[in-house]
Amino acid sequence: MTGHGLPDDVLLVHGGTPLHGTIRVRGAKNLVSKAMVATLLGDAPSRLYDVPHIRDVEVVRDLLELHGVRVGEGAEPNELVFDPANVESANVDEINVHAGSSRIPILFCGPLLHRLGHAFIPDLGGCHIGPRPIDFHIQALRQFGAVVDKTPQGMHLTAPNGLHGTKLELPYPSVGATEQVLLTAVRADGVTELRNAAVEPEIIDLICVLQKMGAIIKVHTDRVIEIEGVPRLGGYSHRPIPDRIEAASWAAAALATGGDVTVLGARQVDMMTFLNVFRSVGGEFDVLDGQGIRFWHPGGELRAVALETDVHPGFMTDWQQPLVVALTQASGLSIVHETVYEQRLGYTQALNQMGATIQVYRDCLGGTPCRFGRRNFMHSAVIAGPSKLHAAELVIPDLRAGFSHLIAALAAEGASRVYGVSLINRGYEEFEAKLAALGARAERL
């Protein structure tokens, strides 16, 4: 911390230079971390390629190692090999070192119950974008037969009578709760039917991982997933889907700064909804088949749009913050209705401080009334543009909002101090090197 109570990891960003160049995205953070947890379920080694060097991966690797999984580097750069031959109980104090650092530990419940008959899960972390309850997870685990004991330190789980297949319906298609059910049901006794499941590409990719390990999982229409438990699973070898959140973040940065960025590894099929909006705003892109996607600002005016975030195949909530920075440069009134998280618009205050005109509302400003409408959450935004952004002192509040602050600083006139930039390492691999490769002028203070 600095003398003023601000984080001491500071980036000085000189704005006003359009980003130009080529960068690469690796395996999706939101798949890689889950695929790593899945290795616990196998009785043979697993191999994961294209693993990004990010903080979330380090946390999960550490937790796996604490539980006896041997993790080593593979022959390729960014390849990890996991050997779960000696899974064992970990020391609670050692696990607790990771309290508050990530959301992933909650997904250790099912695999550890299968392997050890008990589990301890530390207090969770992740981005502060709403209360982020875990009630769906706990309800599901109890339905499988787990006994969950919540203590101030964390959660203790046991399964005195084993875990059994069950019929579940999620109140909302939660990504994490769907993964919880998958990672528990694959080795539970009998068949599990999950209704109102999330079907994000990262979930389908996790299903592919589990299928490689020997699981039997059927994805039906209308968000129904059926899992037939099997008595044993082996290892897997998997190249994950690319990080479509990171890809969209760089695309938004190209648009907001008037630049031209090629994102190697980005894949059209996972980003179709984003690409439609990008084009409606006035951005151009070229799909370089098998290689990536080039995104650029063609010059002239950008256009305002109305959009709602939603579960897949809707517009991802994680694409919202980076794109809003670009929308401050569009002519007219853009409307954003955030329907996945109740508090994901807090970062707009910082943009206003930089000269943007964004007003947030409690009302559902979109075609679909959402579950936050009558609950007093500021979850809609109207963005009036174009606005000239100017430099400011910014403190990064969470991962995606943090990257948006960075984009705003790059688009603004003058030099901004961005405090707490290390948080961005949770989900963006080597972002400072990538900024440099794109010609941005940014230096650590």
Please indicate whether residue 127 is annotated as part of the active site: yes
* One character per residue 276-295, x = contact with ligand EPU (rule: CB under 6 A): --------------------
376 binds ligand EPU (CB under 6 A): no
Closest CA to 350 of 372, 330, 328, 366: 328
Catalytic residue among 109, 127, 208, 370: 127
Size of the site for ligand EPU (CB under 6 A): 25
* Residue 399 in contact with ligand EPU, rule: CB under 6 A: yes
The 10 Å CB-count burial string (b at 16+, else e) for 361-370 is: eeebbbeeeb
Stretch that binds ligand EPU, among 66-74, 81-89, 124-132, 359-367 (CB under 6 A): 124-132
**What secondary structure letter does DSSP report for 31?**
H
Question: What does the DSSP assignment read for 95-116?
Answer: HHTTTTS-SGGGGGHHHHHHHH
Nearer to ligand EPU, 274 or 296 (CB): 274
Instruction: Give 134 or 186: the residue with its C-beta nearer to ligand EPU.
Output: 134
106, 100 Cβ separation under 8 angstroms: no
Q: Does 134 bind ligand EPU (CB under 6 A)?
A: yes
Which of the residues 154 through 173 are near ligand EPU (CB under 6 A)? 172
As a residue count, the chain comes to 445
**What does each C-alpha distance from 216 to 187, 188, 190, 192 come to in angstroms?**
10, 12, 11, 11
Interaction between residue 244 and ligand EPU (CB under 6 A): no
DSSP string covering 406-417? HHHHHHSBSEEE
Nearest residue (beta carbon) to ligand EPU: 176
Residue 142: enclosing H or E segment and its boundaries? helix 135-144
Shortest reach from residue 215's CB to ligand EPU, in Å = 20
Selected from 67, 98, 103, 405, the binder of ligand EPU by CB under 6 A is 103
Two structure tokens written together for 52: 């990004």
Instruction: Using the minimum distance from each CB to ligand EPU, give the nearer residue, 112 or 127.
Output: 127
Identified binder of ligand EPU from the candidate list 317, 321, 348, 416, rule CB under 6 A: 317
CA pair distance 166, 147, nearest whole angstrom: 15
Residues at the contact surface with ligand EPU, assessed by CB under 6 A = 29-30, 103, 127, 130, 132-137, 172, 174-177, 198, 245, 317-318, 340-341, 399-400, 427
Q: Which residues are catalytic?
A: 127
